[in-house]
Structure 1
Amino acid sequence: MAKHKRHKKHEDHVDESWLIPYADLLTLLLALFIVLFASSSIDAQKFQAIASAFNNELEGGSGVLDFPSPVSNPSMSETEEQENLKAADRKELQEMQEKMTAYIKENNLEDKVETALSGEGLLLRIRDNVLFSSGDAEIQSAQIQSARDISKLLIMDIPRNIIISGHTDNIPISTVQYDSNWELSAMRAVNFMKEILKNEQLDPRLFSAKGYGEYQPIASNDTEPGRAQNRRVEILILPQGETDQSTNSSSQK
């Protein structure tokens, strides 16, 4: 009788099927961290290279990483373009300020004319006694050439809106021509603007005139030197794209 060989019982193997989804989970977590890292980088080429490599491994070339990089967002490129335009615009304003400063020095006007560059634009401030006689809004004949020289400084490559404003001290005025400082300041601004616009290279549509009277002082009205500073005409050259909010070319405020 043939002897039957006894087979030993195979030991039970531990079920390792859980390792497969666990490995997939680790792979996805790794991919997530790489996506987060790449999203914070400004290098779009590196991001696309990483995305392409993981997609090839996980999905055969298309999958969860197959989407445009956040750095390619059109709004970001538009923002960068706007910043470049602002930088170029400010550079031109600085160049204009340098020309104005040179003109002021050449004509020995340092104590009567000054410039300032700020976020509001480029400001040219002129003491009223440079252009006008006391209580008068007509430009002195001896200063007509000065106004024409200033008009040349306002010629620019990039069109900008320009506001010319008149200001007075707080001493009341009441004459046959002008009932108040408002009227005097407004007419000085208008008359100076009219003289400026005799330069045919300037576009009248970009200009506006305002009279602020005594209500925007830059110094104390308690002293004569302070009042002298407050009596002035200002030319404000706005940054590119900004406009004067007033509805009229000449207004009293």
Structure 2
Amino acid sequence: MLTLLLALFIVLFAMAKVDTKKFQEFKSEFGTLLSTHQSSNAIVNVGEKNKTQGSALNSATSSASSLDNSSSISSQAVDNQLETIKQQLATNLQNAGLTNSVSVYIKSNDLHIVINSSILFDSGSATLSESTQNLLTSLFNPLKAVNTNPIIIAGYTDNQPLKSTSTYKSNWELSSARAISVMNFFVSNKVFNEDNISIQAYGENKPKDTNTTASGRSNNRRVEIIVEKNSSSY
């Protein structure tokens, strides 16, 4: 019995005894595995973060590109519209026999309609005759298509002094009155809206031709209608 008990205690002692060397090896291996696992997780997390940031950046870049493309398309549509209006005006003016007195062109993305004052007004006058008003009706339909655009009507004269009997004290006042007269004509006929139209008066300043000849002075006496590109459209 004693022998058996002694053998039992020896076996139990052998089972309970810890191998310190093996325990340290196990601890070291476990620490290495744990460190490797954490590093892997860190790499995965950084990769996922970079992937998320890259995706967000790509999305933002794509959105900005889409906006730029949309703006470009809208701007091109406005340019095409003004070109179409110019062609319609040219056709109407030709049919009305006004091609020698009215010119139409696009400059700096704006539509310009230049009307020689000789067909609009008598010398020193700012009153539109009935026959002149009838001629200007050929401009109505094409211009109604751009009545939401900013409109400028500018008056110009030559450098000849006004007669002492003139209603106006200077060429500057005459050019202003003529621009206002044309503006009122188009607004009263509901071609242009009064809330987006303005006038400019230059008198004898900014001539487009010489003032030393009769033909040059005739070219300088003019009223110009400027249809600006509508920036709110794009």
Greater C-alpha Rg: 2
- Report the counterpart of residue 44 of structure 2 in structure 1: 59
**Contact 1:168–1:230 (CA under 8 A) maintained in structure 2:** yes
- Report the counterpart of residue 5 of structure 2 in structure 1: none
Aligned-residue CA RMSD (Å): 2.1
Under a length normalisation based on structure 2, what TM-score does the superposition of the two structures give?
A: 0.72
Paired letter, 2:217: R
2:171 pairs with one of 160, 181, 203: 181
| Whole-angstrom distance in 1 between the partners of 2:104 and 2:70 | 29
Moved more, 207-216 or 77-86: 77-86
1:217 corresponds to 2:207: yes
**Contact 1:147–1:192 (CA under 8 A) maintained in structure 2:** no
**Contact 2:155–2:200 (CA under 8 A) maintained in structure 1:** yes
| Whole-angstrom distance in 1 between the partners of 2:151 and 2:170 | 25
| Whole-angstrom distance in 2 between the partners of 1:158 and 1:76 | 31
Aligned pair count reads 185
**Contact 1:158–1:240 (CA under 8 A) maintained in structure 2:** no
CA deviations on 1:199-250 (whole Å, 9 max, x unpaired) are 23532112112211011111111222211111101100000137xxxxxxxx
Paired letter, 1:186: S
Deviation of 1:151 after TM superposition, in Å, equals 2.9
- Report the counterpart of residue 167 of structure 1 in structure 2: 156
- Report the counterpart of residue 94 of structure 1 in structure 2: 83
Counterpart mapping for 1:1-253 below 5 A: 59=44, 62-66=48-52, 67=54, 68-70=56-58, 72-73=60-61, 74-156=63-145, 159-174=148-163, 175-200=165-190, 202-241=192-231
| Whole-angstrom distance in 2 between the partners of 1:126 and 1:117 | 15
Under a length normalisation based on structure 1, what TM-score does the superposition of the two structures give?
A: 0.67
- Report the counterpart of residue 16 of structure 2 in structure 1: none
**Contact 2:175–2:202 (CA under 8 A) maintained in structure 1:** yes
Bigger proportion of residues as helix: 2
Paired letter, 1:75: A
Gaps of 5+ in 1: 1-57, 243-253
Paired letter, 2:48: S
Paired letter, 1:130: I
| Whole-angstrom distance in 2 between the partners of 1:141 and 1:158 | 23
Paired letter, 2:211: N
Identity %: 26
SS state of the match for residue 74, structure 2?
helix
Paired letter, 2:200: K
CA deviations on 1:100-129 (whole Å, 9 max, x unpaired) are 000111012221110111224000000001
Paired letter, 2:161: P
**Contact 2:155–2:179 (CA under 8 A) maintained in structure 1:** yes
| Whole-angstrom distance in 1 between the partners of 2:109 and 2:202 | 17
**Contact 1:147–1:196 (CA under 8 A) maintained in structure 2:** no
SS state of the match for residue 111, structure 2?
strand
| Whole-angstrom distance in 2 between the partners of 1:112 and 1:164 | 17
The change in CA–CA distance for 1:223 and 1:154 in structure 2 (over 3 A counts) is same
Gaps of 5+ in 2: 1-42
| Whole-angstrom distance in 2 between the partners of 1:102 and 1:121 | 19
